[in-house]
Structure 1
């Protein structure tokens, strides 16, 4: 189980990097009307998510790595399930999965990028928990 205080909790749950409780995005990654828009600040602890203009441009590099990991996972799963796909079929499957996963990959990449520069603070998280009770 991934508990609060763990970077994976913040990244995969799309939560605030500092308190791990507030939402990171304006809406769900697959809501295309607000496609992967990051909130201005955490609704729970007030952390400003946008350190500077164009801060999240760096997440494009992370997105490339996450996309490669997804494509490798598709390949490994085809090998594990012993699917005899030709090269064109395997390529088509990878492209299809990547297209379907694109909103999630973009959201997780922005979350990873934010978690590189913003650290978890247990004291702030405790204050937020006390305010909510």
Structure 2
């Protein structure tokens, strides 16, 4: 695959930042019983996903930026489709989109945060099944 080996691949598919093969989360972001629970280690390359206690607290900053991007995307879509909406309706559309995207936003912000600190290792990726 063309993106394999890039941070974008790890982020889009929510895979291990080092080997791009292991799952990053315990379950799908929308499975609310394991809501965005990050695995302790990569099941493929054994990378420890947390450098220190409360490591993913920093992902809140990323989450804010991703949330703003979702809100801007909703606004741009209303402009693109020529919807004449009041400010209240637009606000409601943005809030609904953010609530529906919340599990995905939280998951993506954690994997983006992890990609700031871990890099892809081609040698490890080749040795992992």
What's the TM-score bracket when you normalise by the shorter of the two chains?
Answer: over 0.9
Per-residue displacement from partner, 1:18-73 (whole Å, max 9, x unpaired)? 00010000000000001000000000000000111100000000000000000000
Instruction: Report the Cα distance in structure 1 between the residues aligned to 2:7 and 2:57, rounded to whole angstroms.
Output: 21
1:16 correspondence with 2:16: yes
Instruction: Report the Cα distance in structure 1 between the residues aligned to 2:110 and 2:92, rounded to whole angstroms.
Output: 26
Higher mean C-alpha deviation, range 50-59 or range 1-10: 1-10
Which runs of 5 or more residues in structure 1 are unaligned?
Answer: none
Runs of 4+ displaced beyond 6 Å:
none
Aligned partner of 1:115 in structure 2 is 115
Alignment of 1:1-133 (within 5 A): 3-128=3-128, 132=129
RMSD between aligned residues: 0.9
Instruction: Report the Cα distance in structure 2 between the residues aligned to 1:15 and 1:3, rounded to whole angstroms.
Output: 12
Deviation at 1:12, TM superposition (A): 1.3
Q: When the two structures are superposed, what TM-score results if normalisation uses the length of structure 2?
A: 0.98
Residues 2 and 9, structure 1, Cα contact 8 Å, conserved in 2: no
Q: When the two structures are superposed, what TM-score results if normalisation uses the length of structure 1?
A: 0.95
Residues 25 and 37, structure 1, Cα contact 8 Å, conserved in 2: yes
